[in-house]
Structure 1
């Protein structure tokens, strides 16, 4: 894995970068980390996308200042739908499309906090978006207007998203946006994030679920390969 520098409007930030084996060009994917930041788990997910045939970059949205202050700022910017975090994600996309080994098609995937950003990015020039249990108020009608195709994954036991998969599906169907939405019956929030304190997390509706994770990533990879294919 390589760390890269990403030129963004508010200044250069760090990011994790992974590429597939072999010769490109490949479609790109911007991986937006969860509340924990650019952790080992986020880096492993970035590698997972590269192994599936995508150029993958994960920008560090907490690159400016202390983590506590950055978490508050980034969450506020997600709710406002603008700010440095949005610009940083777009800059990561532009860093991919500028590479000669990128096909020019880029998707965005995010988890928890990052899942909210993945939905917000869907109308901003991406070829496909994959929100995993997005932690964003379910005002989906305004969020996805004009958006790209969306593959979304929720856990039925997620205390932060009760009924939100159905709400998103209803909006996407009404707007005629192609989508694949699945709710995993035995999974909770953060089911695809393999982070510490799993036993405690599961008690409160969080926690890693290997079976749901593998299925959700397989769906996401297939969806992205379809929508990010070269014309």
Structure 2
């Protein structure tokens, strides 16, 4: 099991094993079927949210490129309409943890929709080869991802149970960066919560890598259509704190009311992922509290 310290997966210099070891990862995978085995810790005790009082749906809808985009949907039982939250996955796609995040949001009164951004190429969820996972994820470019979010918004607008006038977005790691991008792109998105998504290109990035990752959140602070909270770990080796400060300064310059950057000094990358070795219960619980308060303010008030 590779210890993930970067949103897009490890670099060659990160090729170290967790102290729990590969055997532990295999045991964990057996105990928690459906969780991404590439990051699952043996000692993990993931929160498992039941579906009582919820309606769960697996559906597809057309993306702008004609692809039938799969999505996992969890919402409260009843007619609604319920505020909608788009959930953007990590590099592992729609594995069990992302589905559980959707159910947690549904328990809080939201209709959560998690699109499968990567499956045009392949499903990364069951894979253990990080190089192959990264290859799959790299094929989901900015315009494709924004098109998939556009399709999700359009599909939700057609559902009687969805209040498409109240829409939020949240995402993790790879998906955390997407939150910033989508909040700048779509006027329909009223608020966002970004969990440890990359904000700026790495200092050693090539010109090609900088271009491939654009637009970067630090360049979008003045374009946000709704307020975004960024939740980051002070011990995140993949997202330097100086880029968090760059983003905070950019938000201040832009006068982005309601947006803020929150840093948990002792937390690592992926601190909200309760199936990973880097899970930090205190930071995760505080971040979730902030998420619910933010969405309550901007989607329910």
Contact 1:155 1:184 in 2 (8 A): yes
> Following TM superposition, by how much is the alpha carbon of 1:180 offset from its aligned partner in structure 2, in angstroms?
3.1
> Following TM superposition, by how much is the alpha carbon of 1:59 offset from its aligned partner in structure 2, in angstroms?
0.2
Distance 1:220 1:49 in 2: 10
Q: 1:34 aligns with which of 71, 87, 90?
A: 90
Corresponding residue for residue 167 of structure 2 = 106
Distance 1:101 1:133 in 2: 31
Could you tell me which runs of 5 or more consecutive residues in structure 1 were left unpaired when the two chains were aligned: 199-206
Is 2:73 aligned against 1:73?
Answer: no
Contact 1:140 1:171 in 2 (8 A): no
Greater Cα radius of gyration, structure 1 or 2: 2
Distance 1:71 1:140 in 2: 19
Q: Secondary structure at the match of 1:63?
A: coil
Larger strand share, 1 or 2: 1
Contact 2:251 2:260 in 1 (8 A): no
| Greater shift in the superposed pair: 165-174 or 42-51 | 165-174
Aligned length: 215
Could you tell me which runs of 5 or more consecutive residues in structure 2 were left unpaired when the two chains were aligned: 1-55, 125-131, 202-215
What aligned pairs does 1:37-52 form with structure 2 within 5 A after superposition?
37-52=93-108
> Following TM superposition, by how much is the alpha carbon of 1:18 offset from its aligned partner in structure 2, in angstroms?
0.2
Contact 1:13 1:59 in 2 (8 A): yes
Q: 1:137 aligns with which of 170, 188, 200?
A: 200
Q: Secondary structure at the match of 2:139?
A: helix
Contact 1:17 1:57 in 2 (8 A): yes
> Following TM superposition, by how much is the alpha carbon of 1:143 offset from its aligned partner in structure 2, in angstroms?
2.2
Corresponding residue for residue 89 of structure 1 = 149
Distance 1:96 1:86 in 2: 15
Contact 2:200 2:218 in 1 (8 A): no
